Amino acid sequence: MAGHARYTALLDACVLYPLAMTDALMSLATAGFFAAKWTTRIEDEWIRSLEKQRPDLVGKLGVRRDSMRDAIPDWEVPETAWASLARGIQLPDTDDAHVLAAAIAGHADCIVTSNLKDFPSAVLLEYGIEAIDPDTFIINQWDLDPVNAIAAFKRMRARRKKPQSSPEDFAYALELGGLPTTAERLRQAAELI
């Protein structure tokens, strides 16, 4: 499997089921900030987690999943690429071995996850990969190119079901979605979004 010319991030399931967080990450990926990768197993995990939290969504998340796939055509790290690697990986949570294995097989530079404790730096450094929380990851992308990051968030706000919501409402939704620093940046850029 060939690597990607752009910075590549393997997205863990825990950053794909909160809608605002997922939308922010997908918005930056489609704007060309980074190459986003995940696996069908990661998809299954975020879908199960969301359905458990919201039983009214059982069987209704296929459209969201397919929209994510359409937005990032090169998203998949196939199981055939990571499965054999996962058997030799030791992490605090053995269920996360597939995530690191997919990051290795997908030539990822980092794993974006809210569960940093599950990915010890000492283990990840062996593979040249770091784990980073989604809020910090988004701010790092923003710092690389503020103008295009603001444009990506402006497009994200325009896609909302309530596009007439104020910039503060938009920032608040991201804050509630687990991105407090990103929300503060959006408040500072309110005139532009």
Angle made by CA atoms 165, 36, 3, in degrees to the nearest 5: 160
54 & 103 share domain: yes
Inform me whether the pLDDT recorded for 50 exceeds 50: yes
The verdict on 127 and 150 lying in the same domain is no
- Nearest Cα residue to 141 out of 26, 19, 44: 26
Q: 3 in a domain, yes or no?
A: no
pLDDT of residue 1 exceeding 50, the answer is no
Q: Is the dihedral of CA 86, 30, 180, 21 positive or negative?
A: negative
Residues 84 and 173 grouped into a single domain: no
pLDDT digits (tens, 9 = 90+) for 101-125: 999 999 999 999 999 999 999 999 9
Range of the domain at 121: 8-137
Mean pLDDT in residue range 75-97: 94
147-157 per-position pLDDT tens digit: 999 999 999 99
Give the per-residue pLDDT at 135.
98
In angstroms, rounded to a whole number, what is the distance separating the alpha carbons of residues 185 and 190?
9
CATH (domain of 123): 3.40.50.1010
83 and 149 fall within a common domain: no
Choose the final residue of a domain: 109, 137, 165: 137
What pLDDT score does 146 carry? 95
Residue 38: φ, ψ to 5° = -160, 180
In-domain check, residue 90: yes
pLDDT confidence band for 6 (50 / 70 / 90): confident
pTM: 0.93
For residues 53 and 109, membership in a common domain is answered with yes
Query: Do 127 and 154 sit in the same domain of this protein?
Result: no
Total domains present in the chain: 2
Question: Is the domain of 105 the same as that of 170?
Answer: no
Question: In which residue are the tokens 């979605």 written?
Answer: 177
d(CA 89, CA 97): 6
> Are 122 and 161 found together in one domain?
no
Mean pLDDT of the residues in the chain: 93
Across 13-17, 172-176, 189-193, least confident range: 189-193
Predicted local confidence at residue 160, as pLDDT:
82
Distance CA 111, CA 153 (A): 22
